[in-house]
Each structure stands twice: as structure tokens, then as C-alpha cells.
Amino acid sequence: MAENTQVDVKKLSFERAIEELESIVKRLEDGKVPLEESVAIYERGEALKRRCVRHGVRRPRLPRTPSRPAPS
């Protein structure tokens, strides 16, 4: 993981950014990372998330229904 943190997030492809983000999430969920490292990889994860959003990954939109009309 150490070598990944040296790569500028802006230079990563979408696929590589998602792959690294998934790895960070798994490591944090496992809970076996020391606190200081957890903070560092969390911050890296936030940067990766922003990069992925800029690449066009967005939350799926809910379908329109009579109880949930399109915004005006």
C-alpha cells in the first residue's frame, strides 16, 4: 500500500482509483490498521472518492413515481 500513496490521485485511471479505494475500505473495515495509518489512508480514500466522482461515478437515480415526481 505504501507505494500507492505516493502516486498522485489525479494521475490514476478510474479503474485504478476504484481498485485502490476498495482496498482502503476493506483495510479500514477489518480494523487492524493502527490509528495513525488509518487516518492517512482514510484521507487518501477521500481523495480517491473525489477522483472517481469526477470521472462520472454518481449515485444511481431513483426512478420517478407518482409519489416521487421529477424535480422542477
pTM of structure: 0.65
Which one-letter amino acid corresponds to residue 18?
A: I
φ/ψ of 49, rounded to 5, equals -60, -45
CA distance 22 to 30: 12
Q: What is the pLDDT of residues 20-54, one digit of tens each?
A: 999 999 999 998 999 999 999 999 999 999 888 88
Domain boundary assignment for the chain:
9-54
- The total number of residues shown for the chain amounts to 72
Partners of residue 68 on adjacent β-strands? 65
CA distance 49 to 21: 7
CA distance 33 to 24: 10
